[in-house]
A and B are shown apart, each in its own frame.
Chain A
Amino acid sequence: MLALDIRGVNKKYQAFQLKDVSFQLEKGYIMGFIGANGAGKTTTIKSILNMVHIDSGEVRIMGKNMAEHEIDLKQEIGCAFGGIDFYTRSKVKTLTDVIKKFYTKWDDTTYRHYLRRFKLDENKKIAELSTGMKVKYGLALALSHGAKLLILDEPTSGLDPVARDDLLDVFQELVSDGEVSILFSTHITSDLEKCADFITFIENGQIVNSAEKNEFVESYRLLHGNESQLRQVKERLISYKVNSFGFTGLIHSTDYVPSSDIKATTPSLEEIMIYFAKKEGANV
């Protein structure tokens, strides 16, 4: 079953547009949504949550159309926007008391469990929580109202490595029973190498690729060679960098013809992002 099914979403602004955004997330998996700053991650997430009005396309969550069943579906979605705080001078307890009234499946026992699990103090004010604790509080709220899909925009941004690692462990634990699915956007690709099952890559408002993680990285090759070799493959490269030793360039695996002279390696997610960004930059 698909937890999230986005098809042909278009949204045009004056200086930016989402173009035919489509990708699917299977229930019980973690999908990392990567892209550079301004690539369209947050706009896509807001389109999924019906916070912005899409020009065309369809968003289906748990098989239901989001535009038609927004209120029902929001009972089953937990979302968090990294770096945006709400009512920071209120205590955790006060905010929870307000929020829980909106959810029909709110479970206090589950909430208490996650407060203990995440070591959250209910009497602290939101402003007193660390960035990592705020994300965990958001997760505790989402899981207490029985959210089956977590949509998290940059949840790991601003966290130190220890807090990030801890949070990624929590993500993996949450999907382990196959009921909860997570879509989280990030530009910190090392997070995804650790815990994502699927990767969706957006660049300049368009989905470049959406696939299972290994399949995703295997669909590209990073070539290293000298200047004369660059001339042989230049036209087929997504983009390349020239240095004193020769060149390094990214190519689609399907465009790569193995040759003994050019060294090919599997790129990291970060390298894929960087070379695609370089391509966009070259086109401007």
Chain B
Amino acid sequence: MYNLVKKDLKLGVSPIFLVMPLLTGALMLIPAWIYVLVPLYFCWITVPNMFAGFKAQNDLLFTTMMPVTKRDMVKARVSVVVLLELLHIGIAMIFGIFTFLLYPDMIYYFFAPTLGFWGVCLAMFGIFNLVFIPMYYKTAYNYGKATFASIAAAMLFAGIAQWVGISNSNVADVFTGSRMDDMALQASILVAGIAIFAAFTAIAYRVGFNRFQKVEAQ
């Protein structure tokens, strides 16, 4: 499995997608911006480009020819997606710290980059994975419909979450108001986000693997 991850990182994933989190993360420095857009750039740019590369380079046939199990093939690909997602979130979180340092008195209308906000972002990635991975593994090379549906699901979740974050005063308090400094609450939202991300990704992997078993290498 480890060799397959290395294979994807060396051959399939262009170095730009490893640098991209620095560029998208820097968007966190825009004062009081719609920060939920920052992780969405991963879904909009990295995923379709990366999977287009796999398709164009006949990765499915290439990998199937080697002595690897189908389970490891799915596990490795999901690991690469998760690795990049965590890279995007991790780097954006670091930029988020600087956002607070640079603009200490900022008034936020949209989500502020609190710990709880990153929990929301992880839940969004969980939803993205839950839609994308099972749909992709119907063929293991066609990525268009899966990308469209998963981005739509992630954006819908982000839109609703942000709308609730503005319109509901209790939620607004947590993400942009007086409870932004309630570390116990913020940490518990982050943990909940991690749990949703992990659970949804695990389900996505299982469904993806079951579908991939029926796929014939073309």
Q: Which residues of A approach B to under 8 Å, CB–CB?
A: 46, 49, 51-53, 70-72, 74-75, 79, 81, 84-88, 90, 94-95, 97-99, 101-103
Contact = CB atoms under 8 A, between A and B. Distances in A.
Contacts of B57: 86-88
Contacts of A98: 3, 6-7, 10-11
Given A74-B65, A98-B3, A101-B3, 4 more contacts: A51-B216, A51-B217, A53-B216, A86-B62
Return the 9 tightest CB-CB contacts between A and B, nearest first: A74-B67, A51-B217, A86-B62, A52-B216, A101-B3, A102-B66, A71-B67, A87-B57, A87-B11
Task: Output the residue of A71, A72, A87 with the most chain B CB within 10 A.
Answer: A87
Contacts of B6: 98, 101
B66 A99 contact: yes
Interface in B134-158: none
A24 to B, nearest CB: 23
Interface in B172-202: none
Nearest to A43: B216
A95 B11 contact: yes
B216 A46 contact: yes
B61 A71 contact: no
A281 to B, nearest CB: 27
B58 interface: yes
A103 B10 CA distance: 17
A97 B214 CA distance: 30
B65 A79 contact: yes
B1 to A, nearest CB: 11
B3 A102 contact: yes
Given A71-B69, A75-B67, A102-B3, A97 B10 contact: yes
A84 B58 contact: yes
10 contacts: A74-B65, A75-B67, A81-B61, A86-B59, A87-B62, A90-B11, A98-B6, A99-B66, A102-B68, A103-B67
Nearest to B61: A84
A103 B7 CA distance: 13
A96 B6 CA distance: 13
Contact of B58 (A46, A51, A74, A86): A86
B67 A86 contact: no
A98 B65 CA distance: 14
A124 B57 CA distance: 17
B106 to A, nearest CB: 45
B64 interface: yes
B181 to A, nearest CB: 48
Contacts of A97: 10
Interface string B56-79: 011101101111110000000000
A86 B216 contact: no
Task: Output the residue of A53, A72, A101 with the most chain B CB within 10 A.
Answer: A101
Nearest to B2: A101
